[in-house]
Amino acid sequence: MTRKTALITGASAGIGAATARLLAANGYDIAIAYNSDRAGAEAVARDVKASGGKAMILQANVGTPADIDRMFTEFDAAFPRLDALVNNAGIVAEKSRLQDMTAERLTQMFAVNITGAFLVAAAAVRRMSTANGGAGGVIVNMSSAAARLAAPGQYVDYAASKGAIDVMTKGLAEEVATDGIRVNAIRPGIIETKIHAKGGEPDRVARMTAMVPMKRSGTATEVAEAVLWLLSDASSYVTGSFLDVSGGR
């Protein structure tokens, strides 16, 4: 069986790392893109190789357009084609009311979560599109339940950035529907990852669990399973859609 190739941004920890490991176990070679956690990326690469896949580590801050260009240049040198993009990289800032948010905070948030995600998706389309001589492919964007819930009093800016990802997902899906590319998004809810601590709320998962109808948090692997399905032929007629992995919230 010919292994497919997936590029996963933000793949050194959390949902990205779980997705890399699961895809590798299901026949994918993986390009592991990360910003600062080299040790995490190397650990993921070891697990990908242990599953029989090829692993390449790519350092890139997706908030910097030149880094995105370099990442894809390095990808092209290592892999013959791009079959799947998991557009997962994103940041969250510390809990804040909107009235206290600064221009610097918003600029950084939107540079990574919106502009970076748009540019990564664009680069993937240029490689996948049958209109450009590509073989087609699948893009899964990582949105958030916050795009629906708005995260008032916590991080409306993060929620707004994920709302932009939802709009991009729908628009891009229609643009490339006849070019052999499917584009969907996943909206995770309360998931056990380190992103909550990065936002200054290491206890957020425990605090929010009571608000989830299933009365528990989700795992990164549960999100990864949803990614795997959206990348598979089992979802061949699904594009421009949103899959909530949120325990009913």
- In angstroms, the CA 110 to CA 161 distance is 6
Q: Which of 9, 147, 34, 30 is nearest to 83 (CA)?
A: 30
CB 165 within 8 A of CB 114: yes
Tokens of 166: 């939802």
Which residues are CB-neighbours of 49 under 8 A, at least 6 positions away? Answer: 55
For each of the chain's 249 residues, which pLDDT tens digit applies? 689 999 999 999 999 999 999 999 999 999 999 999 999 999 999 999 999 999 999 999 999 999 999 999 999 999 999 999 999 999 999 999 999 999 999 999 999 999 999 999 999 999 999 999 999 999 999 999 999 999 999 999 999 999 999 999 999 999 999 999 999 999 999 999 876 555 566 777 878 899 999 999 999 999 999 999 999 999 999 999 999 999 999
pLDDT score, position 193:
82
Q: What is the DSSP string of 203-237?
A: THHHHHGGGSTTSS-B-HHHHHHHHHHHHSGGGTT
Please, are residues 224 and 15 in contact by the beta-carbon 8 Å criterion? yes
**For position 207, what pLDDT does the model report?**
80
Determine the 3-state secondary structure of 120 from DSSP. helix
34 labelled catalytic:
no
- State the pLDDT at residue 121: 99
Domains of the chain by residue range: 4-245
CB within 8 Å of 25: residues ≥ 6 apart: 51
| pLDDT for position 202 | 72
So what's the pLDDT on residue 196?
52
By CB neighbour count within 10 A (0-12 exposed, 13-18 middle, 19+ buried), where does 170 fall? Answer: middle
CATH fold, domain 4-245, is Rossmann fold (3.40.50)
Catalytic residue, from 28, 155, 158, 237: name it.
158
